[in-house]
């Protein structure tokens, strides 16, 4: 997908979710591999200090604008992204699509009981889903993980190991995995399992998911400091551009 905006050196795909889903359909049909990564201020800040992470985010097929900070930055930098595609929202759409089109789905990541509960909730909601298999995210032997995925022959693999572990795994092993679409989904299995609640609709509508998370999981406070730092850096970049 070519329509990308660069925010502090990190690509973000500037296309609506419907277009992404169509392109993913085409990839599955053509067996043209691609990775989906979620871009949020925290990850962009990590990428400022980590060249390898910046490269493997930028080399992915789709960088979805996860988090309100990315669309605010796009607006400041006169880009066109005015929407959000959350990792969990994208995963939900892919599950819907997989359910309709009989794509085979593999779940890799989170604790054993979490991934099992997430799958149980998901298959209840999508009864026609082709479950290719799963493995929890605490298996240390990557070779075993690769073998299990290859034996299961999925079309789509959701990788829930947190960042940057999941992005590293996808990049390192994709070429020898017999699946087409890989999405790094962070804590989404925790959401599908019901262990972690998504923000209520009102918070989501107002772009205040971060506030809800801060209130319900105060231990994430440190991670959220990335947002004001990120916006400051974006404003700095903008004023630099205005001068040059
Ligand atoms: N996790 C895992 N293996 C590990 C470390 C973490 O499977 O070695 C899982 C963890 O159980 C959780 C997810 O990765 O389900 C990370 O969630 P977090 O909310 O930190 O991810 P984020 O979306 O913020 O990157």
Q: Which atom of ligand 1 is nearest to the CA of 42?
A: 24
Whether residue 9 is contained in a domain is answered as no
**Would you say the CB of residue 162 lies under 6 angstroms from ligand 1?**
yes
Ligand 1, residues 162, 163, 222: which to mutate, most atoms within 8 A of Cβ? 162
- The reported pLDDT for the residue numbered 198 is 79
Number of domains within the chain: 1
Q: Is the CB of 109 under 6 A from ligand 1?
A: yes
Indicate whether 21 belongs to any domain. Answer: no
Judge whether 24 lies within some domain: no
Q: Is 189 in the pocket of ligand 1 (CB under 6 A)?
A: yes
pLDDT digits (tens, 9 = 90+) for 111-142: 999 999 999 999 999 999 999 999 999 999 99
Would 110 be classed as within a structural domain? yes
Confidence at residue 67, expressed as pLDDT on a 0 to 100 scale = 83
What pLDDT, on a 0 to 100 scale, did the predictor assign at position 30?
97
Pocket probe for ligand 1: among 42, 138, 160, 216, the residue whose CB has the most ligand atoms within 8 Å is 160
Q: Whose CA is nearest to atom 14 of ligand 1?
A: 161
187 lines ligand 1 (CB under 6 A): yes
Residue 211 lies in domain: 31-236
What's residue 171's pLDDT?
95
Does residue 39 lie in a domain region? yes
pLDDT score of 203: 85
Note the pLDDT of residue 187: 93
Q: Whose CA is nearest to atom 1 of ligand 1?
A: 161
1: in domain: no
Give nearest CA residue, ligand 1 atom 3: 137
- pLDDT in the model for residue 225: 81
18 domain residue, yes or no = no
- Which stretches in the chain have pLDDT values below 50? none
163-170: long-range contacts, CB 8 A cutoff, minimum separation 24: 163/42, 163/43, 163/46, 164/43, 164/46, 164/50, 164/53, 164/56, 166/109, 167/35, 167/37, 167/53, 167/56, 167/57, 167/60, 168/56, 169/142, 170/35, 170/37, 170/60
- Residue 242 belongs to a domain: no
- Ligand 1 in contact with 167 (CB < 6 A)? no
DSSP letters spanning the chain: ---EEEETTEEEE-S-HHHHHHHHHHHHHHT--EEEEEE-HHHHHHHHH-HHHHHHHHTSSEEEE-SHHHHHHHHHTT-S------HHHHHHHHHHHHHHHT-EEEEEES-HHHHHHHHHHHHHH-TT-EEEEEE-TT---HHHHHHHHHHH--SEEEEES-TTHHHHHHHHHGGGSS-SEEEE-TTHHHHHHTSSPPPPHHHHHTT-HHHHHHHH-GGGHHHHTHHHHHHHHHHHHHHHHHH-
């Amino acid at each position: 997908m070519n329509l990308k905006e660069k925010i502090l050196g990190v690509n973000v795909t500037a296309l609506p979710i419907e277009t992404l889903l169509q392109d993913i359909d085409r990839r599955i049909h053509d067996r043209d591999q691609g990775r989906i990564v979620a871009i949020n201020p925290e990850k962009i800040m990590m990428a400022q200090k980590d060249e390898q992470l910046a490269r493997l985010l930028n080399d992915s097929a789709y960088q979805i604008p996860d988090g309100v900070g990315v669309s605010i930055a796009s607006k400041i930098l006169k880009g066109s992204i005015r929407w959000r595609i959350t990792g969990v929202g994208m995963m939900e759409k892919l599950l819907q699509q997989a359910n309709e089109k009989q794509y085979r789905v593999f779940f890799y990541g989170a604790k054993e009981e979490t991934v099992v509960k997430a799958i149980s909730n998901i298959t209840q909601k999508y009864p026609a889903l082709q479950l290719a298999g799963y493995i929890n995210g605490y298996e240390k032997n990557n070779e075993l993980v690769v073998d299990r995925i290859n034996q299961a022959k999925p079309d789509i693999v959701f990788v829930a190991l947190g960042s940057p572990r999941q992005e590293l795994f996808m990049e390192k092993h994709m070429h020898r995995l017999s699946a087409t679409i890989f999405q790094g989904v962070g804590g989404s299995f925790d959401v599908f399992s019901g262990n972690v609640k998504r923000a209520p609709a009102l918070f989501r509508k107002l772009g205040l998911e971060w506030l809800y998370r801060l209130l319900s999981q105060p231990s994430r406070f440190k991670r959220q400091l990335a947002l004001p730092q990120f916006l400051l850096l974006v404003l700095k970049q903008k004023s630099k551009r205005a001068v040059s």
